[in-house]
Each structure stands twice: as structure tokens, then as C-alpha cells.
Amino acid sequence: MELLRCADTWVHAEQDNFEGSFPHAAVKSDRLQRFDGVLKQRLDSMRFLADQQAKLRNMFDERRARLKEDQGRDVAALKQLERGVVDAELARLASIQADIADKEQQCIEETRARQSWIEGQQMQVDECLRAVNAAKEVRAVHSAALVAAGEALAATEQRAAELRASAADLEARGRAVELREVALRCLEAGWEAAVAQCRAKRDGGPPRGQTLRLAAEDCIAAELLGCDRYLSQLRESIH
């Protein structure tokens, strides 16, 4: 553009100089030649500028393509890092869940076995009670049998007390198993909330280990303290 302005200035200056020295036809012919020269210079300048613009456009396109490739690699690296951290924590949580599930299954099997044993003992108690009732009916005739029946009754009552204690122990174990289930659900909910919170703070980026652990502790504690069922069962297990 600066070159074109210089050419226009030069043509006008030359035109003023030649108008006073030559006839009108000569000035007109010379002016046409000069206009042709200026037009040619302008065309050359426009071609040069177009060529430079094309080169700049190609250079910008190449830089934009390289920038997109770099951004793609960065995003892929961040996603891979995020998957690695989350997968490791999920694997650890899955291991904890599997261990809790095994212990829960073991408690269930023990509870079923103890329940079966209690039912068998209850049948024996029922038989003993029937025997005691029969002995009471004939105690006037069989005083010795009545004494024996009294002893059997005392033994039966002792066994019944033992059975009641066993039943209370089984009930406590059942509450403990249920408490573990509620705690596990709170643990899962707290962990998911911590992961979501860390991702939101980092604008979707991968959460850091220390930050994730601290957030998980706070979220899990909040879930446990906010669960009425967990607190109620915890108080029952303490009392």
C-alpha cells in the first residue's frame, strides 16, 4: 500500500511538471504510458501481496494444525492419567468391597448354621417341656419322677437361657452385618462425591492423589454422619 501511494504521488508530480513544457497531445500520450506503468506496478504489487497473503495463510494453517495436534496429545495424556488414577482407586475399592462381601457371606453362613442349631435345640426344649407337663400330671403318684422332672425343668430353663443368649448374639451379629452394608454404601457414595468434586475444581481434569484422599475422607465422613440409619444402628450396636 505504501508503494502504491508513492506511485500515485510520483505520477501527479510528473503530470504537473510536464503540463507546462509539452503540448497537450504529448502530455496525454505520456500520461497514458505512465498510467500503464502505474497499473503494471499496482498489478505486480497486488500479485506480491496476494502471494504473501497465501504464504501467511499457509503458515497460519500449518501452525493451527500443529496446535490442534499438540492439544489433542495433551488431552489424550490428561485422559490417560485420569483413567490411571481413577482405575487404581476403583480397583482398591473393588478389593475392599470383595473383602466385605466375603465377610458378609461368612457371617450369613454362620448365622444360618446357628439358626439351624437353635431350631434343633428349640425342638428339644419343646419335647422337654412336654415331658415336664406329663410329669406334673402324675406327680401325686410318682413323687420321685416329679423330683426328676423338676431337675429336668431346671436344666431346660438353663438351656433356654443359653438359647436366648445365643439368639441375642445372633441378632447382634445381624445388626453388625447390616451396619457394614450401610457403611459400605456410604463409602461408595462419599467416594463418588469426592471424585466429582475434585473433577469440578480442576475443570474436568484428573484429580490429584492427596487432594482426592482428603476430599474422600470429608465426603465419606459427611455421608456417614448424615445417614440416620447408620447412626441408629451404630447406637443400637453400642448399647
| Cell 430353663 found at | 157
Task: Determine contact, residues 139/149, Cβ cutoff 8 Å.
Answer: yes
Task: Determine contact, residues 201/171, Cβ cutoff 8 Å.
Answer: no
* Distance, first Cα to last Cα, the chain: 93
d(CA 239, CA 235) in angstroms, rounded, equals 6
Residue 114 C-alpha cell reads as 446357628
- pLDDT of res. 79: 74
CB within 8 Å of 132: residues ≥ 6 apart: 149, 152, 153, 156
Its pTM stands at: 0.31
Nearest-5° angle of CA 113, CA 117, CA 118? 115
Task: Determine contact, residues 135/146, Cβ cutoff 8 Å.
Answer: yes
Task: Determine contact, residues 108/177, Cβ cutoff 8 Å.
Answer: yes
**DSSP codes of every residue in 4-57:** HHHHHHHHHHHHHHHHTTS-HHHHHHHHHHHHHHHHHHHHHHHHHHHHHHHHHH
Would you give per-residue pLDDT tens digits along the chain (239 residues)?
544 454 455 445 544 444 444 444 444 567 777 777 777 888 888 888 888 888 888 888 888 888 888 877 777 777 776 677 777 888 888 888 888 888 888 888 888 888 888 888 889 888 888 887 887 777 666 677 667 777 888 888 888 888 888 888 888 787 788 878 888 888 888 888 888 877 777 655 555 667 777 877 888 788 777 777 777 777 776 66
